[in-house]
Amino acid sequence: MAIEFSERLKALPPYLFKELDRVRDEVKSRGVDVIDLGVGDPDRPTPAFVVEALDRAAADPANHKYPVYSGMNSFREVVADWYRKRHNVDLVPHLEVCSLIGSKEGIANFPLAFVNPGDVVLCPEPSYPVYRSGTLFAGGEAAFMPLLEKNAFLPDLRAVPEETLEKATAIWVNYPNNPTGAAASLEFYYELLAFAEKWDLIACSDAAYSEMTSRPKPHPSILEVPGAKARAIEFHSLSKTFNMTGWRIGWAAGNETLIRGLGLVKSNVDSGVFQAVQLAAMKALDSDHREVAEMGRLYAERRAVLCEALDRVGIGYLHTDYTFYVWARVPRGLDSKGFCAKLLNDAGVVCTPGNGFGPSGEGFVRFALVQEVPRLKEAAERIEALKF
């Protein structure tokens, strides 16, 4: 019997980070001391008080049963309280918040609830690949909005063709942005929601990196715009905020119908988030966020180490205080893939080619600040020694 993948699976490009792991491991097998600045996975552990909360909750037999699909009421109440304190946004917890098995799961499943075959979804590029893959799995078509340096890596909404907009159902944005590290203003979200209202679009905001900053003032949320809940949904995660990537815990918040639709999909494909993990996440969200602020300062220090080296060799980059990425321009005479290959083979430094996130990323690479300062200094010295 000849077994073949489905057409929807065949339509997907190779998953970028899986391929990065393969190439990195191949070089390591040759005995090279590799410094991995590729995948954005925090290197510091989850705060101890969160781990201790999980230990206590996991030992309670009450948490060993199937969880509620859309999240414990107490978890959703803590999320709503976090929005009120952080963004002055009021949410009805049991109607406007849904727990997620990490924001990736919610982003991938969301189109199944609201995108019909043939519908168009506006996706930024370069970007996180799941906006596109989730759209394809739902039978939709991804129409790309290039994020260009001349536009501060914000989408030019006026450049989207009218014939595309007439078929569009939803629009995705992601700020602070992966891979560029660009930020958005509250004014941008006003503009985005006016655009979405004009063309009757669902506005989807991925805010997974909003807390990764050394700034005391939070990055704005799309839900801060008056009336946003009429058509907006925001996806968030504890993965990067509290170094909890492996825990798989996040949430969606916003329009009641959008939350209910996502919850209906989830009730048919998963059984919710382990209650012990939700209880530990509540401890994290309800804390004073001291550890989050400390990580913001640490990433700022790491960014300075790498960027000072890039300055010395004449490699440009986006100046930003958000995310734990550095979006750097490729030296003249090389393309994104060639520059990454040279860094890996000649310096043992892994970074991600910008065009792996979309064609507009050509000419850039992404460095993830996921090594301690001494190791980053070594990576910087290796890059300088190549004398671009």
The string of pLDDT tens digits covering residues 320-347 is 999 999 999 999 999 999 999 899 989 9
Examine the pLDDT at 125 and tell me if it is beyond 90.
yes
Residue 111 near residue 90, CB atoms below 8 Å: no
Q: What is the CA radius of gyration of the chain?
A: 21
Mean pLDDT of 159-176: 98
**What confidence score (pLDDT) does residue 15 get?**
67
Answer whether residue 11 shows pLDDT above 90: no
Q: What is the residue whose two structure tokens read 């968030």?
A: 236
Q: Residue 95: exposed, middle, or buried by beta-carbon count in 10 A (0-12, 13-18, 19+)?
A: middle
- CB atoms < 10 A from the CB of 64, how many? 11
Is the pLDDT at 31 greater than 90? The verdict is: no
* Measured CA distances, 309 to 75, 86, 199 (Å): 43, 35, 45
**pLDDT, mean of residues 77-103:** 98
Cβ contact 325:238 at 8 Å: no
Q: Where does 190-242 show beta strands of DSSP type E?
A: 202-206, 232-237
Region 295-323: what's the mean pLDDT? Answer: 96
Backbone phi and psi for residue 356, each to the nearest 5 degrees, phi listed first: -65, -20
The Cα–Cα gap between 20 and 341 comes to 11
pLDDT surpasses 70 at 241: yes
Tell me: pLDDT of 17 over 80: no
Could you give all domains of the chain from N- to C-terminal order, each with its CATH number?
Answer: 7-45+290-385 (3.90.1150.10), 48-285 (3.40.640.10)
Single-letter amino acid, residue 305: V
Q: Please give the share of the chain, as a percent, with pLDDT higher than 70.
A: 98
In the chain, the amino acid numbered 323 is T
Residue 1 predicted with pLDDT over 90: no
**CA count, 13 A, side-chain hemisphere, 305:** 23
170-191 pLDDT, tens digit per residue, is 999 999 999 999 999 999 999 9
> What is the pLDDT averaged over residues 112-129?
97
- What is the C-alpha to C-alpha distance for residues 171 and 174, in angstroms, rounded to an integer? 10
Q: Are strands 352-353 and 364-368 parallel, antiparallel or unpaired?
A: antiparallel
Residue 19 confidence (pLDDT) above 90: no
Average pLDDT of every residue of the chain: 95
Please give the backbone phi and psi of residue 251, each rounded to the nearest 5 degrees, phi first.
Answer: -160, 165
Whole-angstrom distance, CA of residue 271 vs CA of residue 279? 16
Q: What is the pLDDT of residue 16?
A: 65
Asked if residues 69 and 267 have their Cβ atoms less than 8 Å apart, the reply is yes
Helix, strand, coil % over all residues of the chain, rounded to 5: 45, 15, 35
| Mean pLDDT, residues 83-110 | 98
> How far is residue 6's CA from residue 378's CA, in Å, rounded to a whole number?
45
Res 12: pLDDT: 81
Q: Which of 5, 18, 53, 33 is nearest to 285 (CA)?
A: 53
Predicted pLDDT at 10: 86
**pLDDT, average across residues 188-195:** 98
Which residue blocks in the chain are alpha helix, DSSP H? Answer: 7-10, 16-28, 48-58, 73-87, 93-96, 103-114, 130-137, 162-165, 186-198, 256-269, 275-285, 290-313, 336-342, 373-385
Q: Which helix (H) or strand (E) holds 286?
A: none
CA dist 379 and 289 (Å) reads 30
